[in-house]
Amino acid sequence: MNGTIAVALDLLRESISRRWFLALGAAITLVLVFLGLALRLDVVDGALAATRLFGTALDNDIRSVDVALRPVFEAAADAIFYGGLAFGVLACADFGPSLLAPGRIEHLLALPVRRHELLAGTYLGVLLLACAGALYGAGGLALILGAKTGVWTLRPLAAALLAAVTFTAIYGAMLAAAVFARSSALSAAVGAALFVCGIVAGYRDELLAAFEPGVGREAFAGITLVLPRVSALARTAADIAASRPVDLAVVAAMLAGVFAFGFAMLALAVWRFEGRDF
Amino acid sequence: MLAIEATDLRKTYARSLLGRGGHEALRGLALAVPRGSAFGLIGLNGAGKTTFIKILLGVVRPTAGTVRVLGGSPDDVAVRRRIGYLPERLQLPPHLSGRAFLASVARLKGLGSAEAEVGRQLGRVGLAGDAARRIGGYSKGMRQRLGLAAALLGAPELLVLDEPTDGVDPLGRAEVRHVLAEERARGATLFLNSHLLSETERVCDRFGILAAGRLVRQGTLTELCGSGTRWRVRFAPGCDAAALARLGFFAGDEAGAFFCEADDAAALDARLQRARETGALLVELQPALRDLEQVLAEAVEAA
């Protein structure tokens, strides 16, 4: 088995036995079970006639069921995006430093695995973990609402995948911080800072207009140019989930930026890791 | 054929990011360990033992000099596949079971269907009954045994063990020695680093003393601890101690044991012949060995 894949699968196995991820899995499952059992949607001729939660009717106009579900999917996309990113920053901050812990890294480096495979495997494992969590939540929601209304859509899944990809770009920087300092706290701090700065970077164009021309404006433009546009990607994910039209060229450009940022951070981490003594 | 060959090996740890200043851990270490031998590296704390072991495994890169392990570079994955390593303070993932950890190591070592091999090594180190338990609940000795099992996976040609019996109880140490003896019988080379000199003496047939980053002495126990001219003899009960004393035999550490000096085999034989003429019956003859601890102290002081 390829070293990178073996390391990634080991990370997935280890995460299954960690409390953070057990709690996330249980929480998602509880929400899905709650929706599955407590929510009743009456659909008549393709229109949502009534909505009942625990048997109590909710006020809503009669309208096409796919239109009625759009705000639900949009809210779910926002929750998965921001909630997932915040959770990921906290829960995954320890993966890098625990891999590099004294007594463990020597053992791993003495095995027939290349150094870059260890980091790439950790990165891939986190990517798979983020995708699995996002797809479980969004897929479960789409499945339950699809079964209740007959409206089947993959849009929530696409929105969730966008969140997972955005997180892995942030995780690239967290991993690089871990390689430089072997600290879970610093790794989490870098992730949190990028999360907040990424939200700001998503409003880059609007905020730039508020700056006076000068060094400050150029500095802001320069810094936000390279950061992942977290809030813009979150808006795009919500638009996709809510079946609103999106500019594919803009989405592709943002995704390219996210991938470039993530891989640049991973390359930085690998460069430092390759040259470091443990 | 050599299992380990180091030439003029130097390692300086930089104190600052700019690489200025630094601590010289190894200062021109040269060492050759034949295949199939059991080599014990001894020295005080900070002598450079762990640095040398890490260089052997590619964990630390030397500043200068060369090292070859099993005929290749430690950076070569194919070479590391043939090495089993137990670090000094092995950090194990507490969430995994012992079996899951070994299965993970087996996958990273590229062993195919390793279930049987994992079970076999767990049995050898006495952890078969605890294989399903989480490592977080293991005692220090059990963790050490698990680390040893991980090193043994895949029948490596070279076993590099850093303090293998650290935290293991006396009976467990005997079991570890038994496992290591089996590995030697299989043809594996052992490279051992331990502060427990008595343990090292019982496992290894060659020793190296590291002091201030250099290998100051190496050889068999006899070469290191024997003077070459001093002998320990034991005569059957009833020998005339006074007569033997007049012939240059000085009373030893137990009844019937004596020490004598002889520059060569002929002189030794002549001295023993004179002893026999007094009626003494020789039952044992061996080079008189000093304590390894004493030899270590002398070597370190000289360095």
* Domain-terminating residue out of B192, B221, B250: B221
The 10s digit of each residue's pLDDT in A57-67 is 766 677 777 77
The residue to which tokens 């039952």 are assigned: B283
Instruction: State ipTM.
Output: 0.81
Please tell me the distance from the alpha carbon of residue B89 to that of residue B127, in angstroms, as a whole number: 19
Proportion of chain A above pLDDT 90, given as a percent: 50
**How close B86 comes to chain A (CA, Å)?**
7
Residues B166, B104, single domain; the answer is yes
Mutate to test the interface with A, among B59, B60, B70 (most CBs of A within 10 A): B59
Residues B142, B274, single domain; the answer is no
Closest listed residue to residue A258, CA positions, set A195, A171, A166: A166
Residues B130, B279, single domain; the answer is no
Touching B: A residues 14-43, CB under 8 Å: 14, 17-18
The 10s digit of each residue's pLDDT in B154-207 is 999 999 999 888 888 888 888 889 999 999 999 999 999 988 888 888 899 999
Identify the segments of chain B with pLDDT beneath 70: 16-21
The 10s digit of each residue's pLDDT in A77-102 is 898 899 889 988 998 999 999 999 99
Q: What is the CATH number of the domain that holds B277?
A: 3.30.70.920
pTM over 0.90: no
Instruction: Between A18 and B280, name the one with better pLDDT.
Output: B280
Burial label for B116, CB within 10 Å (0-12, 13-18, 19+), is exposed
- Measure CA A196 to chain center: 14
User: Residue A124: which pLDDT band, with cuts at 50, 70 and 90?
Assistant: very high
Closest listed residue to residue B100, CA positions, set A11, A104, A23, A132: A11
Residues B217, B231, single domain; the answer is no
Residues B32, B141, single domain; the answer is yes
In this complex, the residue of B61, B81, B150 whose CB is nearest that of residue A112 is B81
The 10s digit of each residue's pLDDT in A37-61 is 877 777 777 777 777 777 677 666 7
The 10s digit of each residue's pLDDT in A219-258 is 898 999 899 999 999 999 999 988 888 999 999 999 999 9
pLDDT at res. B22: 81
The 10s digit of each residue's pLDDT in B83-107 is 999 998 889 988 889 999 999 999 9
Give me B140's structure tokens: 């220090």
Residues B268, B298, single domain; the answer is yes
Inter-chain touch B104–A13, beta carbons under 8 Å: yes
| Chain A nearest-CA residue for B153 | A111
- Domain containing residue B125: 2-221
- A262 pLDDT more than 80: yes
Please tell me the distance from the alpha carbon of residue B61 to that of residue B97, in angstroms, as a whole number: 33
User: What mean pLDDT is predicted for residues A19-25?
Assistant: 84
In this complex, the residue of B90, B95, B109 whose CB is nearest that of residue A111 is B109
Residues B266, B248, single domain; the answer is yes
Residues B154, B179, single domain; the answer is yes
**B→A interface, C-beta within 8 Å:** 13, 54, 57-61, 77-78, 80-81, 83, 85, 87-93, 95-96, 100, 104-105, 107-110, 134, 147, 150, 160
A–B interface: beta-carbon pairs under 8 A: 79
Residues B164, B182, single domain; the answer is yes
The residue to which tokens 């070569």 are assigned: B76
Residues B155, B9, single domain; the answer is yes
List chain B residues with CB under 8 Å of A6.
Answer: 107-108
Residues B230, B142, single domain; the answer is no
List chain B residues with CB under 8 Å of A7.
Answer: 108
* Domain-terminating residue out of B190, B221, B252: B221
Instruction: Between B82 and A25, name the one with better pLDDT.
Output: B82
Q: What is the CATH number of the domain that holds B145?
A: 3.40.50.300
On whether the CB atoms of residues A236 and A254 are closer than 8 A, the answer is yes
pLDDT at res. B16: 64
Residues B192, B289, single domain; the answer is no
pLDDT at res. A59: 65
Name the domain count of chain B: 2
